[in-house]
Amino acid sequence: MLRLHLESCDSPSARAPIALSATLRAGLVINEAPLSYDQISAMGLSLRQVWNRAADSMIAAELESPGVAVRTRPSRVLTGVDSPGLQVAFRHSPAPAWLAHPRTFSVLHYHLCDLAGMDVCYFAPTSLVLFAVGTHSVHRLMQCWSQPVELVGSAVYFAQGFPSEKPPCAVAEKPAVEKVSMQEFLRCS
C-alpha cells in the first residue's frame, strides 16, 4: 500500500521528501520502504501525483460506513498518567501520517474538533503514536508527561490543511465552517 509518513526534517529516511513546514516533511512509503525520486519517476508520475495518490489510498483503506474510521481512546491509557487528550489510531496506517497531506489532515482534524467540541492540536512522540488535545490543554499535557515529545518536539497545529508549529492567531470571531458529509468531502477532493 502506498501511504504517507510524517517525519522531522533531520530524518534520513525520506528519500523523496515533501516540505510541509519549516521542520516537518512528508515521505512516501510503499510496502514499508521509502520511495526515491527514481522510483517515482519510473512510475511515470510526478511527486505531487504520488503524494495525492498516497493520501487517497490511506483514506480509502480506512473507509467504513458512514465514513473514515478514526479510533480514539483517552491518552492516559497509553501514557499511564492522568493526562488530557486522546490517542488517535487507524487500522491500516500510522496516525501521524495523517498530518502529512491536506486531505487526510483535514478529515482527521475536523472529526476530532467535532468530537472534542473545540479546536485541537497534535503531538507525535513516535512515528506510530499520535495524541490530540484541546489547544487550551497543551501546557497541562506537557506537564503530565515525564519525557519531552521527541518526533515533533512541540504541539502541531492545523493551518489550512498543513501542520504548523505555530498556534493559530487568536481571532475575535472565527468564520463559520460549512460542514459536509464524508461522501461530499471525498467527491469534492
User: For 165-176, how does the pLDDT look when each residue is reduced to its tens digit (9 = 90+)?
Assistant: 888 765 333 444
What does the pLDDT read at residue 177? 44
Which amino acid does the sequence have at 33? A
What does the pLDDT read at residue 127? 83
CA atoms of 78 and 69, how far apart (whole Å): 20
What does the pLDDT read at residue 84? 80
What does the pLDDT read at residue 149? 42
CA torsion 128-132-135-138 (nearest 10°) is -60
Extract long-range pairs of 175-179: CB within 8 Å, 24+ residues apart: 177/110, 179/110, 179/114
What does the pLDDT read at residue 189? 34
Which has the closest alpha carbon to 104: 153, 135, 68?
A: 68
Give the angle 146-137-80 at the CA atoms, nearest 5°: 35
Using 50 as the pLDDT threshold, list the residues of the chain that sit under it.
12-14, 148-152, 171-189
What does the pLDDT read at residue 60? 94
User: For 8-43, how does the pLDDT look when each residue is reduced to its tens digit (9 = 90+)?
Assistant: 655 544 478 888 888 888 888 888 888 888 889 999
